[in-house]
Structures are given as structure tokens and as C-alpha cells.
């Protein structure tokens, strides 16, 4: 008897849903995450895009996203989200969801048991881990675990800004609760930034001490037991006016690897995350922010030899994975913009029917 | 003081520091000096080699080499030990 095993038949068939398809100037990580997963030879994947807006570019990238569904914004509540996910699951039989937005993670973490009961895996931090590293808690978090974190003040009303500026001095970094940071040098600029970020993200606003140095970001994948499965440090080479890396390069510096290990040991982080680090001229590494999900540049981890999104898929499905040891230093990414041409019918479909 | 072991260089004079992500480019003479440094040649040996290849006074080149080394030091490319 002749048995034939084709490469395709040995690849595990999976349906994976991904959010964060807004590949815009301040990009969501979704497109990079699914690009990395698609490149993993172990899977034969059907990718379901979950979008909030009909103009999220990833919806129309048909070579990457097989089908897209709109989901309700987080303020609509977890019940509405669960209801929508149940419908999508009935159509698609989803194996795994990878949420990629800070603002939606709370809902997905809350729903992880419900999703698990439906047969949908996730691989997320628990609520305690998620809340502890929140921008509003970061300084306290750093103190507890002996990390260097710039001092900050939570600002609940615009009049508190003056006191914060007196204590921390200018320049200050004014930050939104979830996203965006504006460097200000005067009271007028600080108030303007406060109002702008309050309108976008609500209160509180964070006023953080400005630290001068080189921006290093570290993408990390934790197993939830205190082990870092993958750590890739990247130096930003080109930074947009929104502070996003438009080009970057992997670097090999043991102090950043050690910092990432310390973070994972302290938090027992489960899933992907990113440390935003500022290295001062005298070599101190300040953690400026901890992002509780993969960064938008996560495809670079795959290019450097540690495919973090694909590894997260394996871990979420219960596979045992060994920590990566090596990666390529000097691997660069350079982001670019691209005008996709889209038929209005497609836009109508996702706008009107919520599916494409 | 030695050229750091982990620094990558190319024949074209491109220098990459994998620890910091910094990259630099040097001219052909600089590139030759880097090759010698990577081979652990002493300062005197480098002066001898370059002076034998090019029309340059040893004293003049010694000063140029000193400048070049101090640039490498400023860019954190030398092992201080």
C-alpha cells in the first residue's frame, strides 16, 4: 500500500481571528501578526479579521485576510462583544483569537473563560498582570519590582498640570490613558495637550518626566509561568511625529535581554508584550511603557528568527515550546505606505453588512 | 585598547555595532585600519603597514591614526580593557 504525505496535509488547519487591522500611520499590530503566522510552515491557516471601522486597511488585504467581520467597540460592553463573537464563531469555527489593541484587551481577558468554553483559545495575561503595568500604575509597578521608571503624576483636571510641572519640570511628556504621547515645553502646550488627549482617550491624563536617550523597544513572549520564550530588542532608527518607529534594527545587547527576563520573572506575563525603553547616555535603561500586546513591528521578530506570533499560536493551543536562544542582530525593517485600490462594493459590504 | 569583537565590518568600510544598532561608514584607508585592528595588529604595526603602502610620512600618519582611534573610542567601538 502506498501512503503519501504531502506537505500541506501535515500542516495543522487552524482558523485564527485577529484584531488591529488598522495599518495606518500609527499602526495596529494585526497585519504584522497575521503576516508572521501565515509564514509559519506548521500551519494551514484561515485568517479572520475583526475590525472596528470599515476603513481599516487590513480588511481589504485579501491575500492576508480571508474574511473580515466588524465587532463592537469596547464601550458597547462585553455582552455585545460576546454576542457578536458567537455569531462569527458559528460561521467560522474559530480556534484562536489574538486581540491586538490595548483598549479591547480588558474585554477579551474578561471573556476568555466564555471563549474557552466555546472552544476558542486565547493566550492573554490575567487581569492582575494587565492592570499592574497600566500607564497609570507604571511608576508604582517599577518601585515594587525595582525597575527604573520615569516619575509621573495622574492628572484628573487641567489645573493639576501646574503642580505636576513644578514637581517634574519641563519638558514633560503628556500621555493619553491608552495611546498617544506629546512632549511639551510650556504650560500653554501642556494644557493644549491635556485637552487634546482628554477628548480622545478620556481621563486621567499622565504627565511623565521626560527622559532623554535612545529609544529601544523589546518584543517579548512570556509563557505565564515566569519564563520568557522569546526576546527581541529593536532600536528605532526613524521615528514619526507620532513617535512610532518607521524603521528599526534588531540589536544584541545583554542588558536589554536581562531587563526583559527580569520583567517576565516579576510579572509572570502570559502572551506577547512590548517594553518601551529609553537608554540614557550614561547607560541607564528606563521603562517608559509596557504595552500589553504585540507591537506593530512584530514581523521583525519572525524575520530575525524568532516568530513570536506563530509561537504564541502554538502555546495557546497547548503545545510545549522551548525558549528561543538565537536571533539575527542587524535585521532591519523599513515601513512604507501603499495606496490599495478598493471597489466601493467591498466598502459597502463591510459598512452595511458588517462582513467582507 | 582593542576593536570590539562583536562589531561587524565590511570591505566597503561599513561598520555595524550590533549592541547599539549604530552604523558608520569609513573611507578606504579607515577600512584598511579596521582590518588591521581586527587582526589584533599593534599601533606600530599598523603604522608600518600603511606607511609601506601609501605615500605618507609616518609622523603624519601617526597623528591621523590617533584621531581615528579617538573617533572609534567616541563611537563606543573599542574595548576599554
DSSP classification of residue A121 = B
How many CA atoms does the CB half-sphere of A127 hold within 13 Å? 8
DSSP annotation of A106? H
Q: Hey, is the C-beta of A332 within 8 angstroms of any chain B C-beta? A: no
Predicted pLDDT at A7: 53
CA distance A341 to A95: 31
Measured CA to CA, the distance from residue A311 to residue A318 in angstroms comes to 11
- State the pLDDT at residue B81: 64
Among the partner-chain residues A214, A248, A251, the one whose CB lies closest to the CB of B18 is: A251
Kindly list the averaged pLDDT for each block of 10 residues, start to end, along chain A of length 356. Answer: 51 94 89 96 95 95 96 92 96 96 93 96 94 87 92 90 90 88 91 92 91 94 96 93 88 94 95 95 92 96 98 96 95 93 94 92
| DSSP strand pairing (A12-18 vs A96-98) | parallel
Residue bearing cell 515645553: A185
State percent of chain A over pLDDT 90.
Answer: 80
Chain B residues 9-68 with a CB less than 8 Å from chain A: 16, 18-21
Give pLDDT tens digits for B7-59: 989 888 899 999 999 999 999 999 999 999 989 999 999 999 999 999 999 99
Indicate the DSSP class of residue A55: T
Structure confidence by residue, pLDDT tens digits, A23-36: 888 889 999 999 99
* Cell numbers linked to A346: 467591498
Give the C-alpha separation, B78 to B19, whole Å: 13
The number of C-alpha atoms within 13 Å of A96 and in the hemisphere containing its C-beta is: 26
For chain A, the structural domain boundaries read 7-123+339-353, 152-209, 212-334
Q: Which ipTM value was assigned to this complex?
A: 0.74
pLDDT of amino acid B5? 87
Tell me the CATH number for domain A7-123+339-353: 3.40.50.20
The Cβ of residue A62 has, within 10 Å, a number of other Cβ atoms equal to: 12
The reported pLDDT for the residue numbered A23 is 84
Flag whether residue B8 sits within 8 Å of chain A, measured between CB atoms: yes
The minimal CB distance from A235 to the residues B6, B8, B21 is found for B21
Which of A300, A289, A347 is CA-nearest to residue A55? A347
- A252 touching B (Cβ < 8 Å): yes
At residue A9, the pLDDT reads 59
Nearest CB partner across the interface for A253, out of B8, B16, B19: B19
Assigned CATH class of A212-334: alpha beta
Q: Would you list the domain boundaries of chain B? A: 2-79
Please report where in the chains the cell 527576563 appears, as a residue. Answer: A261
Residue A156, phi then psi, degrees to nearest 5: -100, -20
Model confidence at B2, pLDDT cuts 50, 70, 90, reads confident
Q: Return all residues near A9 (Cβ < 8 A) that are at least 6 apart.
A: none
Asked if B18 contacts A252 with a C-beta cutoff of 8 angstroms, the reply is: yes
Bridge pairing between strands A245-250 and A270-279: unpaired
Third-level CATH fold of B2-79: Arc Repressor Mutant, subunit A (1.10.10)
The conformation of residue A75, written as its DSSP 8-state character, comes to G
Provide, as residue numbers in chain A, all residues whose Cβ is less than 8 Å from the Cβ of B19: 251-253
Cβ <8 Å between A330 and B8: yes
What's the rounded Cα separation, in Å, for the pair A60 and A356?
8
The shortest CB-CB distance from B20 to any of A234, A235, A248 is to A235
Distance of alpha carbon A340 from alpha carbon A63, whole angstroms = 13
* Per-residue H/E/C for A141-191: HHHHHCCCCCCEEEECCCCHHHHHHHHHCCCEEEECCCCCEEEECCHHHHH
Residue B80: is its pLDDT beyond 80? no
Determine whether domain A152-209 maps to CATH 3.30.1490.20.
yes
User: Do the domains at A7-123+339-353 and A212-334 have one common CATH topology?
Assistant: no
Q: How far is CA A86 from the centre of its chain?
A: 24
Query: Which region holds residue A6: left if phi is over 0, alpha if psi is between -120 and 50, else beta?
Result: beta
Amino acid at each position: 500500500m502506498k501512503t503519501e504525505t504531502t506537505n500541506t496535509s501535515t500542516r495543522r488547519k487552524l482558523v485564527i481571528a485577529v484584531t488591529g487591522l488598522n495599518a495606518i500611520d500609527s499602526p495596529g499590530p494585526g497585519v504584522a501578526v497575521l503576516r508572521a503566522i501565515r509564514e509559519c510552515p506548521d500551519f494551514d491557516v484561515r485568517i479572520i479579521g475583526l475590525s472596528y471601522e470599515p476603513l481599516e486597511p487590513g480588511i481589504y488585504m485579501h491575500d492576508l485576510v480571508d474574511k473580515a467581520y466588524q465587532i463592537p467597540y469596547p464601550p458597547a460592553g462585553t455582552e455585545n462583544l460576546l454576542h457578536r463573537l458567537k455569531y462569527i464563531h458559528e460561521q467560522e469555527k474559530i480556534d484562536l483569537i489574538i486581540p491586538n489593541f490595548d483598549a479591547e484587551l480588558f474585554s477579551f481577558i474578561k471573556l476568555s473563560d466564555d471563549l474557552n468554553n466555546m472552544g476558542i483559545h486565547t493566550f492573554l495575561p490575567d487581569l492582575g498582570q494587565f492592570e499592574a503595568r497600566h500607564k497609570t500604575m507604571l511608576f508604582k509597578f517599577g518601585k515594587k519590582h525595582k525597575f527604573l521608571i520615569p516619575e509621573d503624576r495622574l492628572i484628573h483636571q487641567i489645573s493639576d498640570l501646574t503642580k505636576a510641572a513644578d514637581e517634574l519640570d519641563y519638558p514633560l511628556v503628556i500621555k493619553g490613558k491608552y495611546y498617544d504621547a506629546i512632549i511639551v515645553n510650556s504650560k500653554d502646550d501642556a494644557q493644549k495637550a491635556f485637552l487634546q488627549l482628554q477628548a480622545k482617550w478620556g481621563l486621567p491624563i499622565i504627565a511623565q518626566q521626560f527622559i532623554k536617550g535612545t529609544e529601544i523597544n523589546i518584543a517579548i513572549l512570556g509563557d505565564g509561568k515566569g519564563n520568557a520564550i522569546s526576546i527581541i530588542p529593536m532600536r528605532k532608527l526613524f521615528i514619526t511625529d507620532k513617535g512610532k518607529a518607521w524603521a528599526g534594527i534588531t540589536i544584541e545587547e545583554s542588558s536589554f535581554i536581562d531587563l526583559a527576563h527580569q520583567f517576565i520573572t516579576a510579572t509572570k506575563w502570559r502572551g506577547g508584550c512590548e517594553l518601551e525603553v529609553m537608554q540614557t547616555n550614561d547607560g541607564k535603561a528606563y521603562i517608559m511603557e509596557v504595552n500589553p500586546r504585540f507591537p506593530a513591528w512584530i514581523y521583525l521578530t519572525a524575520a530575525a528568527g524568532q516568530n513570536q506570533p506563530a509561537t504564541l499560536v502554538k502555546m495557546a493551543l497547548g503545545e510545549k515550546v522551548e525558549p528561543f536562544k538565537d536571533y539575527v542582530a542587524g535585521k532591519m525593517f523599513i515601513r512604507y505606505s501603499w495606496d490599495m485600490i478598493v471597489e466601493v462594493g467591498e466598502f459597502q459590504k463591510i459598512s452595511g453588512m458588517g462582513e467582507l | 585598547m582593542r576593536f570590539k569583537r562583536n562589531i561587524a565590518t565590511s570591505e566597503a568600510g561599513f561598520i555595524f555595532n550590533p549592541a547599539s544598532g549604530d552604523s558608520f561608514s569609513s573611507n578606504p584607508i579607515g577600512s584598511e585600519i579596521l582590518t588591521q585592528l581586527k587582526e589584533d595588529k599593534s599601533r606600530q604595526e599598523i603604522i608600518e603597514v600603511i606607511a609601506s603602502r601609501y605615500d605618507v610620512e609616518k609622523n603624519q600618519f601617526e597623528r591621523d591614526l590617533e584621531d581615528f582611534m579617538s573617533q572609534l573610542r567616541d563611537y563606543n567601538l573599542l574595548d576599554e580593557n
